[in-house]
Structures are given as structure tokens and as C-alpha cells.
């Protein structure tokens, strides 16, 4: 008995070790992207279960296979393009048939470059016999029952060629196919193969530069200009509800990159679309980035995509596979990777790559789901990789399934298990946050939404939490506003009397308090205030410096203390030093540029006068920025406008005071002052540009000196 127990224990240990070692041997990394677009490692969702070699399908090995699909009964169909045949394997991936010739209406037929296969729900097999310009239909018993040739219709353009490469069929028997060289969209055929319409034609929108130059072109120049044509779709899939998933690869690298960088939900340069039978794109794109493969994109030294180098440029999406619960996967042929998204467009995980190890590809050609299994076809090696869910991947699918079934409370436990393995899985935070919202635990919902960077959902939860906590104290808000109004009024009245008393004591040396209090006279009486500031010495460098320091502090407080809803970023991303350097750098540039310019334009103010008046002009920025920062912690996303409005008032007020300060300091007319301010701003840009050139030159000289020193040291 003891020996049996020992052997049983030994078997368990060995199995665990073998599992760990197998997991470690996975040749690829699995990852997702953070909100900032940085790739972050993730537990493996899939591992290679079996590699079906090109020679495992029978006596004749696969040659340049172009497509594969899995039928509802688990059979695997492969378009063996190079051998002009279709290979059929059973649900255990054992070869059971090879269709090279078939009989139809008493004739022996063969394929010519078949590029696509599709297994319908009724068991029928559809083959895109590309070079024969037809679609061949087989029964579940693999007997040819129909051949659909090029449709004839007056609605078809004269340049249309029926060269099908990919097929999808709905439950009613309606056919949708992608044709080589077709720029008009998906070709829709009825059950009899008659043409119905084109669906989802791609649109071409010329950029602003192209439209501008075409305004000045002659008819001959426009004719000779290369015509921009829409991109063709390259793959198609259909779900049980009849929605078509189509993919395309755009050559406009800059447009694709802009869509990714701006987190665009526009479908103009979308790699994937979900089309209704009428051609409307209804794909959800609510993830951090649009579903387009890799987000972290590099460019070559010339700034353009190099198609022959997988390191550069956007992903090239050439196939889509539909999983369960709205999950779909995109195939990046360029880098041999598979990107999996949920129904809302959130990236779940990405894996794969190019290489010769199990799980990697020489050229990824096609993918398809069969339940939890994922099949991937390598068009160069002719191999098929069957991926199996890991425990982590199964949990992700379980959680999504529970969410789709609206069993939110049950999904929480699964999502929490996922977070213990991968605390960067944003969908888990979103799922738990949504469950907390439905349970009325708004405070906890806010925590999880914030972890997932879901600002809109966080704002909604905060609004309900605010109502719950402060609902009984809403009447105190108008009372507080009234008290605040009377408090400010009383302070301003007192400061007016205080400054008026000082005005009656000319020539008296001012204290720091008196210099600072004079700011409240300048704010409301700018012309008289700046005039006396210079000529009656009501203020000084000391007061101006303190006021500038207050403004700088207010900007730092705003940088590190603005509410999450207004920034959408954690406080850790704030750069206080950069904020201070930018602020004082702008002040210095303004003073230097204005002094240099006004010295040539008969200005009466010295550099000291410009500095002092600038300091006294900017306090409204601080006086509005500080309450705006406080208010940012109590507003929802729909109320951010109040925070922005308050901040804008401060900047406009300070800009007006700075205009008045310049005019009073230099004794300019309004027109001359406008010109001076404009020229000062231009001068600031010029000085900044020259400084950048100088710093760059110094950097190059230092680098040259270091290189020379290293060369001399190496030779000696």
C-alpha cells in the first residue's frame, strides 16, 4: 500500500514537472498592451497541442496550402493550392479524403489554384476554385452537387472579374465571396449563384494636401495623376447571426499609424470590419486601441514601412477567425502573430511569431476555430499547428462566457482568479467593476475602473457614489456658494480700502505685504495699476518674484493634484520638474524678447520693469487654477467643462493684464502695443529655435571630442 502511494506521488510530481517544462519550452511570448501602448507580458493563453506536418495528410505532402477551415462536425478542410486539391481530415486530425478530381454532370473536373474553403452549418463544403473562376459545392459526403460560375448581371462593372479567393455562406444559403482584384466590396450571391449586390465597398478619402494640389491641376495633369483605388478585402468569416467579418491591409502606413496613435474608432482605415447584410460596419472598437494587430510600431530610418522587414510598419492582417462568445482573432501575416479580441474590441492576448520552433511560423497563412481549439496554417512549411487552451486561457474564456450570459456575479470570482495570475488584465478589472456597479458598490467599482483606465465608467460610478455620499448635503452647496461670494466681496472691499490708504502715502518704502496687496488693485484697475507700479514704485522685484512663485506652485499643484476624471492618468505620470522649467523658461523668454524688441521700438520700460509687470499680470492664473484643481475632484466627465471654463477665465484675464502691462510700461498706443506683442511672441520662438540649435551644436562638439579622446586613448 505504501509503495503504491509512493509511486502515485511520484507520478504526480513528474507530471507537474513535465507540464512546467513544456510551458517553459513555448517558443513565443504572449502579451497585451497597456493604456500607454507599451507591450506587457501575459500568461500563455494557448500552447501548441499538435503539429500536423505537411506529410501527415497522406501520400502526397501539402504544397503551398492557401486556406483551412473547420466544419461543424470537427472535420478539417485544407485548400492545398499547390497540388490543386482539397484535403479532408477528421476531428482527430487524421486524413480521410483527398479531392483532386470529382464528377459533375457526367464530366471529370479538376481544381485550378483553389485558394479558399468554407464548411457551412448544413455540412456542405464550398471551394473557391480561383483560376477556374467558379465556386464548387460538395455535399457532406464530399460529392460535387453544384458548380457556381461567374454571375451575369447588368449591375456588374465592366472591369469586374469573378476570381473567388475566400467564401462565407449564411444559414439561408446566401453566398459571400472575396474576389481577387475586386475593389467594389464583398460579392453577394443568392442560393442559385445569381449576383445580388456588393457589400461594404471601401471608401477612398484623399488627404488635405492631395485635395489642395488638385485644385491647381489641369485636366491633363489630373488624368496623368496616379488614381487612388480602394483596398480590397482579403478574408471573410460569418457568425451565426449573419454578420460578416472582413479584413483588409492598407498600404497607407501613415494613416494606419495615425488611427492607432489617436485611438481612432473611425473605420476608414480599419483592418477589420463587421458588416451587416446592407454593408454597415457595426464592429465595436471600445478598447484602448483599434483592433489592428501590433500597437508598438517602428519605422525605418526613412520614416516609411519596409514590407520585406517584419520589424517595421503596421501589421498586415490577412485572416480572421471567429471564436465563441463574440471573441475573434486576427492573423498578422507579416510577423506571424495572432491577436485575439473580445466583442467590444479589447485585446485579450497576442502570441506567435516567425521561426522554425513549435508554435512559430515561416509564413502564417490561415487560422480557424473549432470550439476551444485554434488551428493555424503555415503556407510555406505546409504544417498545421493546433493550439490548446492553457488553464489561464480557459479562465479568460469562462469569464467572457459568464459576462455574455449576464451572469455577472458568477464572473467576479473567475475574474479575480485571472487577476491573481495577471494583474494587468484590464478586462478582468472592467468585469469586476461592472459587477460592483450592479451590486451598488460604487466605491469598489471606481477602484477597478481606475485600474483598467476606464475613465468614462469611472466617472459614471463616481457620479453615483457622489450622489450616495453627498446626497443629503446638497442644500449646503448653494449656502457655501453664497458664503464664498460674500467672503470674496468682503476681502476685495477691504483690499480696496487698504490700497487706497497706501496711495495717499507716496514715496514711502513698501513692505512685502504692501507689494503683494497691490496686486488686487492691479487686477481690477490694470491701466492705472501698471502705470503706478512703474512710476510710483507701488511694487517691486521682490513682490513680482513671490507672485510668480505662487503661479508656479499653482501649476505644480494642478499637475499633481488634478482629479483622475479630468486627466485620465495617474499622478505618477506627472513631471513637476518639466512643468517648472517650461513655466520659468517662458517667462524668461518673454522678458528677454520683449526687452530686446522694445529697446529698438522706443519703449520706456527697462528689463526690471518688464519683469515686475509680468509678475503682477499672471496672478489670475493661480487664483483660478487652484479652485479649478479642487473642483476637478468633484466633477464627472460631463462636468469637466466647468473646470476648463474656470481655468480659461484665468488665462484670458492674465493675457489681458499682460497686454495692459506692456502698453503702460512702454507708453505705447494700443495699435503699436498689438504689433509689439505679436513681434514678441515671434521673437520668443526665434530665440527658442536658436537655443535648440546651440544646444545641438554643443552636444555634437562634445560627442566629437569624446570620440577623438577615445580614438587617441585606443591607439596609445
HEC profile of 120-146: CCCCCEEEEEHHHCEEEEECCCCCEEE
User: Over 50: is that where the pLDDT of 73 sits?
Assistant: yes
Q: Kindly report the CA angle at 38 between 633 and 426, in degrees rounded to 5?
A: 55
Q: Residue 389: CA atoms inside 13 Å, Cβ hemisphere, count?
A: 15
Q: C-alpha grid cell for residue 109?
A: 473536373
The rounded mean pLDDT for the chain is 86
CA dihedral 335, 50, 369, 286 (to 10 degrees): -40
What pLDDT is recorded for position 217? 61
Say what percent of the chain tops pLDDT 90: 57
User: Over 50: is that where the pLDDT of 491 sits?
Assistant: yes
User: Over 50: is that where the pLDDT of 267 sits?
Assistant: yes
CA separation for the pair 120, 174 (Å, rounded): 11
Taking only the tens place, the pLDDT of each residue in 472-489 is: 776 777 888 888 888 888
Say what percent of the chain tops pLDDT 70: 89
What pLDDT is recorded for position 401? 93
CA dihedral 174, 179, 185, 189 (to 10 degrees): -20
Q: Which residues, 6 or more positions from 489, have their beta carbon under 8 angstroms from its beta carbon? A: none
User: Over 90: is that where the pLDDT of 298 sits?
Assistant: no
CA separation for the pair 617, 524 (Å, rounded): 11
Nearest to 484 by CA among 619, 630, 648: 630
CA separation for the pair 117, 111 (Å, rounded): 12
- Block residue for cell numbers 483660478: 624
**Cross-strand pairs, 347:** 341
CA separation for the pair 511, 532 (Å, rounded): 16
Phi-psi region of 219 (alpha: psi -120 to 50; beta: other; left: phi over 0): alpha
Mean of pLDDT values over 679-686 = 93
Neighbours of 272 (CB within 10 A): 26
What pLDDT is recorded for position 350? 95
Taking only the tens place, the pLDDT of each residue in 547-572 is: 999 999 999 999 888 888 988 776 55
CA separation for the pair 335, 147 (Å, rounded): 37
CA separation for the pair 195, 153 (Å, rounded): 7
CA separation for the pair 355, 361 (Å, rounded): 5
User: Over 50: is that where the pLDDT of 663 sits?
Assistant: yes
Q: C-alpha grid cell for residue 367?
A: 487560422
User: Are the CB atoms for 180 and 165 separated by under 8 Å?
Assistant: yes
CA separation for the pair 101, 98 (Å, rounded): 9
CA separation for the pair 99, 109 (Å, rounded): 10
Q: What is the DSSP string of 404-440?
A: HTT-HHHHHHHHHHHHHH-TT-HHHHHHHHHHHHHHT
Mean of pLDDT values over 51-60 = 90
What pLDDT is recorded for position 710? 83
Q: Which residues, 6 or more positions from 511, have their beta carbon under 8 angstroms from its beta carbon? A: none
Pairing of strands 76-80, 67-70: antiparallel
Whole-model pTM: value is 0.79
Q: Which class for 374: exposed (0-12), middle (13-18), buried (19 or more C-beta within 10 A)?
A: buried
Nearest to 283 by CA among 364, 200, 222: 200
CA separation for the pair 273, 320 (Å, rounded): 10
- The b/e string for 329-368 (b: 16+ C-beta within 10 A; e otherwise) is bbbbbbbbbbbbbbbebbbbbbbbbeeeebbbbeebbbbb
Q: Which residue has the higher pLDDT, 88 or 11?
A: 88
What pLDDT is recorded for position 202? 73
Taking only the tens place, the pLDDT of each residue in 175-186 is: 999 999 888 889
What pLDDT is recorded for position 479? 81
User: Are the CB atoms for 291 and 272 separated by under 8 Å?
Assistant: yes
Taking only the tens place, the pLDDT of each residue in 16-38 is: 333 434 444 688 999 999 888 88
What pLDDT is recorded for position 548? 94
What pLDDT is recorded for position 306? 43
Amino acid at each position: 500500500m505504501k509503495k503504491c502511494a509512493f509511486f502515485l506521488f511520484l507520478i504526480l510530481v513528474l507530471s507537474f514537472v513535465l507540464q512546467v517544462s513544456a510551458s517553459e519550452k513555448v517558443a513565443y511570448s504572449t502579451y497585451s498592451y497597456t493604456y500607454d501602448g507599451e507591450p506587457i507580458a501575459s500568461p500563455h493563453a494557448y500552447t501548441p497541442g499538435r503539429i500536423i506536418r505537411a506529410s501527415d495528410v497522406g501520400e502526397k505532402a501539402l504544397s503551398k496550402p492557401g486556406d483551412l477551415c473547420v466544419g461543424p462536425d470537427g472535420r478539417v478542410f485544407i485548400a492545398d493550392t499547390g497540388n490543386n486539391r482539397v484535403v479532408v481530415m477528421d476531428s482527430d486530425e487524421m486524413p480521410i479524403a483527398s479531392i483532386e478530381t470529382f464528377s459533375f454532370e457526367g464530366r471529370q473536373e479538376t481544381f485550378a489554384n483553389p485558394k479558399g474553403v468554407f464548411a457551412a452549418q448544413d455540412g456542405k463544403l464550398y471551394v473557391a476554385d480561383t483560376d477556374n473562376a467558379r465556386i464548387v459545392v460538395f455535399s457532406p459526403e464530399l460529392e460535387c452537387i453544384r458548380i457556381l460560375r461567374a454571375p451575369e448581371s447588368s449591375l456588374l462593372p465592366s472591369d469586374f472579374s469573378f476570381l473567388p479567393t475566400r467564401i462565407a455562406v449564411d444559414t439561408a444559403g446566401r453566398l459571400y465571396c472575396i474576389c481577387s482584384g475586386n475593389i467594389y466590396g464583398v460579392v453577394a450571391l443568392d442560393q442559385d449563384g445569381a449576383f445580388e449586390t456588393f457589400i461594404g465597398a471601401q471608401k477612398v478619402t484623399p488627404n488635405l494636401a492631395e485635395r489642395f494640389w488638385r485644385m491647381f491641376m489641369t485636366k491633363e495633369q489630373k488624368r496623368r495623376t496616379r488614381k487612388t483605388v480602394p483596398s480590397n478585402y482579403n478574408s471573410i468569416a460569418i457568425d451565426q447571426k449573419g454578420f460578416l467579418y472582413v479584413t483588409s491591409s492598407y498600404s497607407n502606413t501613415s494613416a494606419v499609424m495615425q488611427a492607432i496613435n489617436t485611438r481612432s474608432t473611425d473605420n476608414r482605415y480599419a483592418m477589420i470590419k463587421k458588416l451587416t447584410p446592407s454593408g454597415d460596419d457595426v464592429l465595436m472598437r471600445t478598447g484602448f486601441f483599434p483592433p489592428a494587430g501590433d500597437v508598438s510600431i517602428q519605422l525605418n530610418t526613412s520614416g516609411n514601412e519596409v514590407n520585406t522587414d517584419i520589424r517595421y510598419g503596421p501589421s498586415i492582417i490577412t485572416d480572421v477567425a471567429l471564436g465563441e462568445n463574440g471573441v475573434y482573432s486576427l492573423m498578422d501575416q507579416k510577423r506571424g502573430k495572432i491577436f485575439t479580441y473580445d466583442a467590444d474590441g479589447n485585446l485579450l492576448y497576442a502570441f506567435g511569431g516567425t521561426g522554425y520552433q513549435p508554435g512559430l511560423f515561416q509564413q502564417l497563412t490561415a487560422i480557424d476555430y473549432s470550439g476551444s481549439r485554434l488551428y493555424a496554417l503555415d503556407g510555406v512549411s505546409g504544417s498545421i499547428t493546433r493550439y490548446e487552451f492553457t488553464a489561464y486561457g480557459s479562465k479568460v474564456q469562462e469569464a467572457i462566457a459568464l459576462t455574455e450570459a449576464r451572469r455577472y456575479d458568477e464572473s467576479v470570482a473567475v475574474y479575480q482568479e485571472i487577476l491573481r495570475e495577471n494583474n494587468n488584465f484590464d478586462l478582468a478589472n472592467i468585469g469586476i467593476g461592472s459587477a460592483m456597479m450592479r451590486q451598488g458598490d460604487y466605491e469598489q467599482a471606481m477602484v477597478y475602473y481606475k485600474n483598467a483606465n476606464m475613465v468614462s465608467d469611472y466617472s459614471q460610478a463616481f457620479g453615483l457614489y457622489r450622489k450616495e455620499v453627498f446626497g443629503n448635503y446638497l442644500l449646503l452647496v448653494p449656502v457655501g456658494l453664497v458664503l464664498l461670494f460674500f467672503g470674496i466681496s468682503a476681502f476685495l472691499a477691504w483690499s480696496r480700502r487698504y490700497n487706497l490708504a497706501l496711495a495717499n502715502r507716496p514715496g514711502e518704502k513698501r513692505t512685502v505685504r504692501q507689494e503683494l496687496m497691490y496686486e488686487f488693485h492691479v487686477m481690477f484697475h490694470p491701466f492705472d495699476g501698471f502705470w503706478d507700479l512703474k512710476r510710483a514704485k507701488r511694487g517691486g522685484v521682490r513682490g513680482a518674484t513671490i507672485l510668480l512663485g505662487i503661479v508656479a506652485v499653482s501649476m505644480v499643484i494642478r499637475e499633481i493634484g488634478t482629479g483622475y476624471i479630468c486627466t485620465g492618468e495617474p499622478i505618477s505620470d506627472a513631471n513637476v520638474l518639466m512643468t517648472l522649467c517650461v513655466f520659468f523658461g517662458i517667462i524668461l523668454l518673454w522678458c528677454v524678447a520683449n526687452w530686446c524688441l522694445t529697446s529698438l521700438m522706443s519703449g520706456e520700460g527697462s528689463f526690471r520693469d518688464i519683469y515686475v509687470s509680468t509678475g503682477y499680470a499672471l496672478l489670475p492664473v493661480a487664483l483660478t487654477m487652484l479652485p479649478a484643481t479642487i473642483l476637478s475632484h468633484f466633477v464627472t466627465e460631463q462636468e469637466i467643462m466647468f473646470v476648463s471654463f474656470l481655468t480659461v477665465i484665468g488665462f484670458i484675464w492674465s493675457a489681458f493684464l499682460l497686454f495692459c502691462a506692456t502698453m503702460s510700461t512702454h507708453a505705447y498706443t494700443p495699435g503699436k502695443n498689438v504689433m509689439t506683442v505679436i513681434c514678441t511672441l515671434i521673437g520668443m520662438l526665434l530665440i527658442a529655435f536658436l537655443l535648440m540649435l546651440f544646444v545641438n551644436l554643443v552636444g555634437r562638439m562634445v560627442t566629437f571630442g569624446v570620440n577623438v579622446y577615445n580614438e587617441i586613448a585606443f591607439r596609445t
